[in-house]
Amino acid sequence: MEQTKAFNALEPFLALSKSATSPRAAADLIVRATSAPNTYIFTELLQTPQIQALATSDEFSPYLTVLRIFCHGTYSSYTSTPGLPELNDAQRLKLRQLSLLTLAKKDGTSNNASSPALDYASLQTALDLPSRQALEELVISAIYAGLVKAQLNPKDSRVRIDSVSPLRDVAPTAIGSLLSSLKAWAGRCDATLESLSCQMAQLRAEADRRAARTTARAREVESLVESLVEKEKTAVPLPQGHQAQHSQTTSAAAPRRGPK
């Protein structure tokens, strides 16, 4: 969602880049794109031929460096690089916001990744902010811009970052590690799927065994019932007269008991 919004915001500047045939026009386009609201992803603009042509201009090549910093760098990258053009207020705010995203991600690799926390002092230094109030205002602006979900903790002088929007371009040097991470993730997914497949096979085999036992028992009961029915059918009843004679004989044979 955030990426789509950022791509849409950059779209007009990509269209304008086709007509930015002079170095001055290309440099002006960089300033406008990095100052505009909702533009946070700049790799497509950076890769256009008109912008790349600034590398051969002694006067305007620093603007190309500025755009690269907006893509992959941080505010400290800007302040530590000499000879760069002055940023306007909108550019400074945006670069600090983007730097906050990078710092939050880096902090998440060394602390609790689910809710990394950054202290006020380190953030003020990294973002070149003069006061705690300026830092808090920056974090609040990033929250309202949808860049981070965070909570300020003035008592402990820390910022808790709950989530970071994927609104930073991937640096070329980071592609290798990103691919390695994706391969490792794919390997874990394959192992999980294989484990689930084995468990499903075991469950199906157990279900088949239970069904077979149930079927065998049902056949045994059916066979037993059929056997009993056949026995009843084959039993020959005695004739009625013979039954009476047999009853009298039995009675006569029985000893009589009288009074002692």
Whose CA is closest to 22, among 62, 66, 53?
53
Residue located via tokens 């990744």 = 113
Q: Model confidence over 229-259: pLDDT tens digits? A: 877 777 656 555 555 555 555 555 555 555 5
Residue 60 has pLDDT above 90, yes or no: yes
pTM for this prediction: 0.67
The per-residue b/e assignment along 56-77, b for 16 or more CB within 10 angstroms, e otherwise, is ebeebbbbbbbbbbbbbbbbeb
Q: Model confidence over 128-183: pLDDT tens digits? A: 999 999 999 999 999 999 999 999 999 999 999 998 888 887 766 555 655 666 67
Distance, CA of 169 to CA of 73 (rounded, Å): 9
User: Which pLDDT score is estimated for 112?
Assistant: 46
Instruction: Considering only residues 259 and 87, tell me which one the structure prediction assigns the higher pLDDT.
Output: 87
The torsion of the CA quartet 133, 134, 139, 143, rounded to 10 degrees, works out to 90
User: Which pLDDT score is estimated for 244?
Assistant: 52
Instruction: Considering only residues 66 and 213, tell me which one the structure prediction assigns the higher pLDDT.
Output: 66
> Would you kindly state where each structural domain of the chain is located, as residue ranges?
1-72, 88-169, 172-226
Lowest mean pLDDT among 6-10, 74-78, 81-85: 6-10
User: Which pLDDT score is estimated for 227?
Assistant: 82
Kindly report the CATH number that applies to the domain delimited by 88-169: 1.10.10.10
